[in-house]
Structure 1
Amino acid sequence: DEIYNFHRLYEQTTVSRQPLLLPKPIPLDPSRQVLLQQHLDLFNRLGFEIEIDENEPRIDRRCRVLSYPTVSGAHSCVFGVDEIDEILSHLSDTSQQARQEEHYESSRLRKVFASKACRMSIMIGTDLTQKQMISVVRHLAQLAKPWNCPHGRPTIRHVSNLSEATKGFLTDDYHSI
């Protein structure tokens, strides 16, 4: 239930841009500037608008942020230079092939959504109807990796002999999953 809610939050949330009144310089060393330039499209997809001025004489002022990504609503947050640094660190630690195949996920946004998904999910000790149980199983079946919640806790428990444990319990509704 929690991992399903987490993915649903990600899918339903739209990221918009918050333009800055004045461009904000990003102090980067030359190697990180090159990395930023190589992955400008990624930053753009994530909602950052960044300008690189090769004619700027001061190296630490060549890269400037024109707008930051922002998420509004009940789980609102505005991203900043810290996220740019996090993304650059991630890119520098990742192989070239993995960078091309991978979808980057902000750790800050992940924490916000994980917390929100946790609070809106079924809590331990909550009594569930059979219909609710079936709904949870169906939701988990839709996910590529339903094994853990966003915090890393297991979402599925192995029952050694399901046919014996469920004798006389399951209905035709369950078998249609």
Structure 2
Amino acid sequence: DEAAAAELGRFIHKEDFAAMRVVGQFNLGFIIARLGADLFIVDQHASDEKYNYEELQRTMKIDPQRLIRPLQLDLTAHEELLASEHLDILKKNGFDVSIDPTAPPTQRTKLLSVPHSGGGEPFGKKDFEELLHKLGEDTGETVRCSRVSALIASKACRKSVMIGKALDAGQMRRILLHMGMMDQPWNCPHGRPTMRHLVDL
């Protein structure tokens, strides 16, 4: 699937989606689109899911769940600095922390709340540490710990166009336009390809 995505990335550019013409819907699950002499088949659920996923990754703030008592974190000095520099991203992921600059180094940070798990396994220290590790590698606004990303993927899936739903031309056109707005339009959050090249006419 990665090879197919790489091949599509060489073959078609994101701005090409706006130039695609909708041919029709196949089997209530796929959009047939034409670009010049090339026909493509687009998975309506996978492509809509990926668009919703990227939008939620950028915008969704996870509800925090307050801990009964603050949890002392044993962080390195570097991790404490990361936490203090990215309080907004931590909060967006559902983690609230307090930082006491008068406390001894490595003992300055306490966890006040964790992401609301929605009835699943509670979030904890390991999830927070994973997020800090990712922040050390990437300071982008969409940095998420893996379990928060999984929650977002589940939400994106539920709100997306499903296989079996009949779409009119306008709805199919909107899905194609959205593909051109994505950072990575070639695969859904679960790794399934969003589209394939069918044939040269």
Aligned residue for 1:151, secondary structure, equals coil
Aligned to 2:107: 61
Unaligned stretches of 5+ residues in structure 1: 165-177
Letter in 2 for 1:152: G
Q: TM-score by structure 1 length? A: 0.65
| Per-residue deviation, 1:63 | 0.6
**Which secondary structure state, in structure 1, belongs to the residue aligned with residue 192 of structure 2?**
coil
Give the TM-score normalised by structure 2.
Answer: 0.58
1:158-177 matches, cutoff 5 A: 158-161=197-200, 164=201
Q: 3-state DSSP class of the match of 2:195? A: coil
| Unpaired stretches in structure 2, ≥5 consecutive residues | 1-44
Corresponding residue to 2:175 among 136, 139, 145: 139
Q: CA deviation at 1:60?
A: 4.0
| 3-state secondary structure, aligned to 1:141 | helix
* SS of equivalent residue, structure 2 residue 196: coil
Task: Among all aligned residue pairs of Structure 1 and Structure 2, give the percentage whose two residues are the same amino acid.
Answer: 29
The Cα of 1:61 is off from its aligned counterpart by 3.0
Per-residue displacement from partner, 1:38-69 (whole Å, max 9, x unpaired)? 22222123222100112224x44321011122
**1:42/1:115 CA distance change after superposition, 3 Å:** closer
How far the C-alpha of 1:159 sits from its partner, in A, is 2.5
Task: Give how far 1:7 is off.
Answer: 4.5
Aligned partner of 1:142: which letter? Answer: H
Aligned to 1:110: 149
Deviation at 1:93, TM superposition (A): 2.4
Aligned partner of residue 111 in structure 2, secondary structure: strand
What is aligned with 1:34? 81
More strand by share: 2
The runs of 4+ residues in structure 1 deviating greater than 6 Å are none
Relative distance call for 1:69 and 1:113 in structure 2 (3 A) is closer
| Structure of higher CA gyration radius | 1
The alignment covers a number of residue pairs equal to 150
CA offsets, 1:13-38, max 9 Å, x none? 66222111211111101121112112
Which of 13, 37, 46 is equivalent to 2:93?
A: 46
- Structure number with greater CO (CA < 8 Å, separation at least 6) is 2
Quote the Cα distance in structure 1 between the aligned partners of 2:51 and 2:126: 24
Contact 1:51 1:64 in 2 (8 A): yes
In the alignment, does 2:133 pair up with 1:89?
A: yes
Letter of the aligned partner of 2:102 in structure 1? N
SS at match of 1:18: strand
Taking the aligned partners of 1:42 and 1:86, their CA distance within structure 2 comes to 13
> How far apart in 1 are the matches of 2:98 and 2:107?
10
Question: Aligned equivalents of 2:115 and 2:46: distance in 1?
Answer: 25
**CA distance 1:115–1:42, shift in 2 (3 Å):** closer
Structure 2 residue matching 1:41: 3-state secondary structure: helix
Q: Secondary structure at the match of 1:142?
A: helix
Assess if the C-alpha contact under 8 Å between 1:70 and 1:77 holds in 2. Answer: no
Deviation string 1:99-137 (CA, Å, 9 cap, x unpaired) is: 2x442133212234435628x7656xx6x75x3687455
